[in-house]
Structure 1
Amino acid sequence: MAGSWTPDGFILDLDGTVYAGSRPIDGAAETIGYLRSRGKRVVFLSNRGNISRRMCRERLAAMGIPCEAEDIILTSSVVARYLREHEPDARVWVLGEQGLRDELALHGVRFAVRPQDADRLVVTLHETLTYAELNDAFRAVRAGARIIATNRDKTFPGEDGESIDVGAVLAALEHATGVAADVVVGKPSPAMARAALDRLGLPPERCLIVGDSPGSDIALGKRAGIRTALVLSGSVTREEAEAMAPAERPDWMLDSLADLRRLLEEMER
């Protein structure tokens, strides 16, 4: 692409890009350190909604990637901000884990005492989901709660392989209740792009988004006018990436985040 263009801001996906479960992707920490040494701005953008920014910051620090909590944009924090700004009086019932509850509480979101008292059902990834919890969520919607979801991803790249994500649970609730989620905040939504660009303090044309998901990361970049790099360390193979429709293809394709330094050096020649 683009002759002398080089990005000043980098929006990095987490699962499958920076790490896989508790294991960092080879070269990720070194690449992020290199970007920072060049004065580049870096934010992390993830559809994870079952963890808080504090939890994510601690995970990254353990991998040798220090950062401020404000540099981490998760669907848990974006959904919390949405509720605070647009529905401050809503009482919510959560189908999710403690990380989401922590982020909601940090933003002053109110919790319903019983499912039938909820104005909103917030749905996110729940890795220890029980039938009783799913049924409570079902009953909240039956009693009138509207559904807000962190994302619709079907799967995510875990440490031991591909794992089921929020989309399947959300589909089950929508099917059982006949009620569709009216708000989904995760990538590729404009809300996630705005949050990342606001933190970077840069316009979209000066940024590059790097991620492993064509449907989330690359689609977000296409919609927001942000150039894109797809890494093959997560959810797609090279064959799958090369079979993408021309309009959906990334601007660059990398084996992993470790190749980003080489790409940046090529841009600057």
Structure 2
Amino acid sequence: MKGFIIDLDGTIYKNYQIIDGAREAIELLKKNNLPFVFLSNRGNISRKDCLKKLNQIGIDCRIEDVILASTIAARFFQQRKEESIWILGDEGLKEELIDHQVNLASKPEQADWLLITLHEQLTYEDLNNAFRAVLNGARIAVTNHDLIFPREDGPCIDVGGLIAAITATTGAKVQYSFGKPSPFMRDAALQQLQLEATDCVVIGDGLSTDMQLGIINEMKTAFVLSGVASVEDLHKANITPLFMGNTILDVVKDILEGVKHEYH
């Protein structure tokens, strides 16, 4: 493997608390001059904020090494300056859109697009404004479709819950989804690494995100058990990763040594 595409939530940290071995795994890649990019479906934070949090937990990387679903969405709408966006999500997404000079609607009824991401401070008014945006003709785009994300105190509802609320009440469908395993994320990661898909390995804890990104694009896959999904979940999904370990450090060591483990 020449390049590493690495998930964040459940792989590097949980609720921004570093997972054992994560720092050492990244340093091991650097020691072996192996390029990596952090590719996350996080859409409710900005890339600058994510980089700051990574640095605070001891992960030394550049902003170019971090690609979020919020970044991909911002790049997409940056090219559509005549169209205005209403956000259902946390302030981090708004910050990323502003950094990319995206046109934000002043009222939900005036929006051309509703962009949905995780909203951990959600109020009824937030949800209702998003509902009204779509009723008035806004098309729906989402940072990702994740149903669950891992936190130290247990699994939490992700963007999928908000998407379901809006699509169920309006009858509208999602037009664009920017997160893994979309081509948007694949292309951004490969462009950053300057590698072909077959030269890369995806490391993560997500079955429908990380593992599917690898499977769809003929990348190698490495599954970590430090997130939400279990070995039983892998079997139910009929997914067999090339590498598997309890932590990212386990799988990085195995990849470098060419060791494969079966978990039952």
Q: TM-score, normalised by structure 2?
A: 0.95
Does the 8 A contact of 1:190 with 1:224 survive in 2?
no
Within 5 Å, give how 1:205-244 maps onto structure 2: 205-244=198-237
Residue 12 of structure 2: aligned partner: 18
Match of 2:93 among 100, 104, 109: 100
Q: Does 1:163 align with 2:156?
A: yes
Residue 45 of structure 1: aligned partner: 39
Q: Deviations over 1:95-127 (max 9, x none)?
A: 111110111111110111111010011100000
Unaligned runs of 5+ in 1: 1-6
Residue 204 of structure 1: aligned partner: 197
**For the structure 1 residues 120 and 235, does the alpha-carbon distance in structure 2 shift closer, same or farther, using more than 3 Å as the test?**
same
Q: By how many angstroms is 1:224 displaced?
A: 1.5
Does the 8 A contact of 1:22 with 1:159 survive in 2?
no
Residue 174 of structure 2: aligned partner: 181
Secondary structure (helix, strand or coil) at the match of 2:174 reads: coil
Amino acid paired to 1:210: I
Q: Does 1:28 align with 2:19?
A: no
Distance 2:177 2:151 in 1: 22
Q: Any runs of at least 4 consecutive aligned residues in structure 1 with deviations exceeding 4 A, and if so which? A: none
> Which stretch of structure 1 is more off in the superposition, 249-258 or 90-99?
249-258
Residue 123 of structure 1: aligned partner: 116
Residue 262 of structure 2: aligned partner: none
Q: By how many angstroms is 1:68 displaced?
A: 1.1
Q: By how many angstroms is 1:23 displaced?
A: 0.9
Q: By how many angstroms is 1:243 displaced?
A: 3.7
Amino acid paired to 1:216: T
Secondary structure (helix, strand or coil) at the match of 1:220 reads: helix
Residue 250 of structure 1: aligned partner: 241
Amino acid paired to 2:126: E
Distance 1:220 1:231 in 2: 15
Q: Deviations over 1:17-37 (max 9, x none)?
A: 000012111000011011011
Distance 1:76 1:262 in 2: 31
Q: By how many angstroms is 1:194 displaced?
A: 0.6
Amino acid paired to 1:252: F
Q: By how many angstroms is 1:266 displaced?
A: 2.1
Amino acid paired to 2:98: A
Q: By how many angstroms is 1:260 displaced?
A: 2.5
Residue 254 of structure 2: aligned partner: 263
Q: Does 1:114 align with 2:107?
A: yes
What count of residue pairs does the alignment treat as equivalent? Answer: 259
Q: By how many angstroms is 1:54 displaced?
A: 0.6
Q: CA RMSD in A?
A: 1.2
Q: By how many angstroms is 1:261 displaced?
A: 3.4
Does the 8 A contact of 2:8 with 2:39 survive in 1?
yes
Q: TM-score, normalised by structure 1?
A: 0.94
Q: By how many angstroms is 1:70 displaced?
A: 1.4
Match of 1:149 among 142, 161, 167: 142
Unaligned runs of 5+ in 2: 260-264
Amino acid paired to 1:251: L
Distance 1:211 1:69 in 2: 20
Q: By how many angstroms is 1:180 displaced?
A: 0.9
Distance 1:99 1:162 in 2: 21
Q: By how many angstroms is 1:244 displaced?
A: 3.2
